[in-house]
Amino acid sequence: MNTRWIALPALLGALTVQAADDEILRLTQASGCVACHQTEPSRTAGSPPPLAPAWRDIATRYKSVKGAQQQLTATVMTGSLPADQGRSPYASHWTGKVQGEFMPTHRHAVTQADAARIVAWILALEPLK
């Protein structure tokens, strides 16, 4: 048997993952997400906090949270600001770790189906240890 063919399934698998990554990347660019979000957290000591949590930090935070897929998709569509803003100071689990205070609604930038696809991709990222 020709040993070169043994690597083919692994190669095809890697190409499929790459194509999905490229598609999501295009979607996050077209929907404006990358204006605030990066994939990887900064590792430079002393650098100012990012505008918004890195995708991998979100994956790490929600790795064992039930219902994260639905919850985060809803947050993307409505924004993260609760309706009572103005009456009480807003804070979230990202406060102090990111410069952005809240995330605006994206209901005009992305469809619910595409938001769900982006969130599924984020949650499938390998969490940080």
Residues that bind ligand HEC (CB under 6 A): 31-33, 35-37, 51-53, 58, 72, 75-76, 80, 92, 94, 98, 100, 102-104, 106, 109-110, 115, 118-119, 122
Least spacing, CB of residue 70 vs ligand HEC, in Å: 12
Minimum CB separation of residue 58 from ligand HEC in Å reads 5
Q: Where are the alpha helices (DSSP H) in the chain?
A: 8-30, 55-61, 68-78, 112-123
Q: Rounded CA gap, 51 and 17, in Å?
A: 28
If one counts every other C-beta atom within 10 angstroms of the C-beta of residue 115, the result is 22
Is the Cα torsion angle 109, 99, 21, 63 positive or negative in sign? negative
For ligand HEC, the closer of residues 39 and 92 by Cβ is 92
**Of 17 and 65, which CB lies nearer to ligand HEC in the complex structure?**
65
2 or 119, CB closer to ligand HEC? 119
State the CB neighbour count (10 A cutoff) for residue 94: 20
Q: Nearest approach, Cβ of 91 to ligand HEC (angstroms)? A: 8
Contact by Cβ (8 Å): 128, 57: yes
Q: Which is nearer to ligand HEC, 11 or 73 (CB)?
A: 73
